[in-house]
Amino acid sequence: MGTRNRQRRAAKAKRRARQHTTHRHHGGARSSGQSWFDEPTQPLQRDIATGLLRTAAVHPDARRRLQAFEALLVGDPAVVDREAEGLILVGVAGLWDNGWQPTEVVRLGRRTDARIGRLMALAVAADHARRDPATLHPRWAAQLDELALPATDAATGWIAGLRRAESLDRATYLLAVVGAIGAVLSAGPLHRVLPPPGSAGQRVRVESSPTVDDPILVKVRALLAQAESTTFEAEAEAFTAKAQELMARHAIDAALLWASTERDERPTTIRISIDDPYACIKTLLLQHVARHSRCTAVWDDRHGLSTVVGFGSDVASTEMLYTSLLVQSQAAMRAEGAKAGPGARTRSRGFRSSFLMAFTHRIDGRLAEINEAVEQAAAVESSDALLPVLASRHDAVTDRVTELFGTLRSVAVSGGSDAAGWARGTLAADLAKLNAADLARADEPVG
Number of domains composing the chain = 2
Query: Which pLDDT belongs to residue 287?
Result: 95
221 and 163 co-located in one domain: no
Average pLDDT for residues 272-292, to the nearest whole number? 93
- pLDDT score, position 290: 95
For a pLDDT cut of 70, what percent of the chain falls above it?
Answer: 68
What are the pLDDT digits (tens) for 50-104?
999 999 999 999 999 999 999 999 999 999 999 999 999 999 999 999 999 999 9
Residues 14 and 69 in one domain: yes
Are residues 238 and 441 in contact, defined by beta-carbon separation less than 8 angstroms? yes
- Mean pLDDT throughout 411-433? 67
Q: How far apart, in whole angstroms, are the C-alpha atoms of residue 418 and residue 421?
A: 5
Is 198 within a domain? no
The whole-angstrom separation of Cα 389 and Cα 258 is 9
Residue 34 placed within a domain: no
42, 75 in Cβ contact below 8 A?
yes
DSSP codes, 43-112 = P--HHHHHHHHHHHHH-S-HHHHHHHHHHHHTB-HHHHHHHHHHHHHHHHHHHHHTT--HHHHHHHHHTT
Q: What stretches of 159-311 adopt beta strand conformation (E)?
A: 268-273, 296-300, 305-310
SS3 state of residue 420: helix
- Amino acid at position 88, single letter: I
In this structure, the answer to whether residues 121 and 236 fall within a common structural domain is: no
Task: Write the CB contacts of 194 (distance below 8 Å, at least 6 apart in sequence).
Answer: 101, 137, 139, 140, 206
161 & 234 share domain: no
- Residues 87, 53: contact at Cβ < 8 Å? yes
One domain, residues 286 and 396: yes
DSSP 283-331: HHHHHHHHHHTT-EEEEETTTTEEEEEE-HHHHHHHHHHHHHHHHHHHH
Distances (CA, A) of 340 to 208, 233, 346, 429: 49, 21, 7, 21
pLDDT at residue 24 tops 50: no
Domain that holds residue 162: 3-26+40-186
Contact 247, 316 (CB under 8 A): no
- Indicate whether 125 and 266 sit together in one domain: no
Summarised one tens digit per residue, pLDDT across range 160-174 is 988 999 999 989 989
Is 197 among the domain residues?
no
The C-alpha atoms of residue 72 and residue 54 are separated, in whole angstroms, by: 11
Do 172 and 221 share a structural domain? no
Residues across the chain: 447
Taking CA atoms, 190 is separated from 35, 98, 113, 197, in Å, by 46, 6, 22, 16
Please provide the average confidence, as pLDDT, over all residues in the chain: 78
Task: Tell which wins on pLDDT, 161 or 210.
Answer: 161
Tens of pLDDT, residue by residue over 338-369, are: 776 555 555 677 788 888 888 898 889 888 88
* Residue (of 65, 77, 86, 108) closest to 173 by Cα position: 77
Taking only Cα atoms into account, the Rg of the chain, rounded to an integer number of angstroms, comes to 26
| Structural domain ending residue among the three candidates 149, 167, 186 | 186
Q: Based on the domain organization, do 180 and 220 belong to the same domain?
A: no
Inside any domain, residue 67: yes
If asked whether residues 228 and 130 sit together in one domain, one would say no
User: Which residue in 166, 73, 176, 162 sits closest to 126, CA to CA?
Assistant: 162
Q: Which region, left, alpha or beta, applies to residue 128 given φ > 0 means left and ψ of -120 to 50 means alpha? A: alpha
DSSP character at residue 26: G
- The predicted structure's pLDDT at residue 217: 64
Q: Give yes or no: residues 283 and 360 share one domain.
A: yes
pLDDT at residue 122, rounded to an integer: 94
One-letter amino acid for residue 189 of the chain: P
Looking at 3-45, list the stretches that DSSP marks H as alpha helix, in order from N- to C-terminal side. 3-24
Strands 296-300 and 305-310: antiparallel
The three-class DSSP label of residue 268 is: strand
pLDDT of 59 = 96
Least confident of 67-76, 153-162, 242-251, 279-288: 242-251
- Looking at the fold, whether 296 and 353 belong to one and the same domain comes out as yes
Q: Is the pLDDT confidence value at 33 over 60?
A: no
Which amino acid is located at 413 in the chain? Answer: V
Query: In terms of domains, do 180 and 221 share one?
Result: no
